[in-house]
Structure 1
Amino acid sequence: MEGLKDQKCEACRLGAPRVTADEMNSLRTQIPGWSVIEEDGIQKLQRSFAFCNFMDALNFSHRVGIAADYENHHPRITTEWGEVTVTWWTHKIKGLHRNDFIMAAKTDALAG
């Protein structure tokens, strides 16, 4: 079976279904380290990555940005000295879609 990091994001349209609780539980097993948070009533995936310095953090942010643009699915990326926090959610549906889990797995792969 193909892992999440090897899958492609599908075009998401307004009104597309959010992942169900069962789907979320299944998908979360493939992205350990990610938390489901809620901001303004919207569920999001979030994870922080530690780095030894600012340049490593900045380079990682750049790689995540390139991957996001390639898939046309864009996160919030907060870059600080020694830390990058990445938050995925699907803006059009104001919640979590399978694409968010795919991109979380791709983000993990970029972190090594």
Structure 2
Amino acid sequence: MKNLLQQHCENRTGSPMTAADIQAHLSRLAGWRLAGDAIEKTFRFGNFHETMAFVNAVAWIAHGEDHHPDLQIGYDRCTVRFNTHSVGGISINDFICAAKTDALLPVAH
């Protein structure tokens, strides 16, 4: 499998990834889990300012990749949820963006 950080999202159509492909890709990303037809991870921070800095950085990645997550934001946490609406489930784009989101932080949260 290619390094996810070196890839970029592309317009996707067709079918979502198979369960086996999803599990194989999840094994490459610490803390991400399958949540229905999406992948998600909760990141924790020391305060609201750190949380919002992270949210803004995720927004910058999403803008650059043209692939946008659902975000649930609290004072000291943010849950990031990716899926690909155009395929009705999970695509490689979700894993590319998940890897780029993880790369924002020096250690896994």
- CA distance in 2 between counterparts of 1:6 and 1:80 reads 30
1:8 aligned partner? 8
Post-superposition, which runs of at least 4 consecutive aligned residues in structure 1 deviate over 6 A? none
After superposition, residues 1-112 of structure 1 pair within 5 angstroms as 2-13=2-13, 16-38=14-36, 43-112=37-106
TM-score normalised by structure 1 residue count = 0.88
CA distance in 1, matches of 2:72, 2:53: 12
Q: Return the alpha-carbon distance in structure 2 between the equivalents of residues 96 and 74 of structure 1.
A: 13
Greater shift after overlay, 67-76 or 2-11? Answer: 2-11
* SS of structure 2 residue aligned to 1:58: helix
SS in structure 2 at match of 1:110 = coil
Moved more, 26-35 or 68-77: 26-35
Q: CA deviation at 1:37?
A: 0.7
Distance 2:23 2:84 in 1: 18
Structure 2, unaligned runs of 5 or more: none
TM-score (norm 2): 0.90
Amino acid at match of 2:21: E
Q: What CA distance in whole angstroms lies between the structure 1 residues aligned with 2:88 and 2:82?
A: 11
Counterpart CA distance in 2 for 1:10 and 1:89 is 13
Distance 1:94 1:2 in 2: 23
Q: CA RMSD in A?
A: 1.3
Q: Secondary structure at the match of 1:65?
A: helix
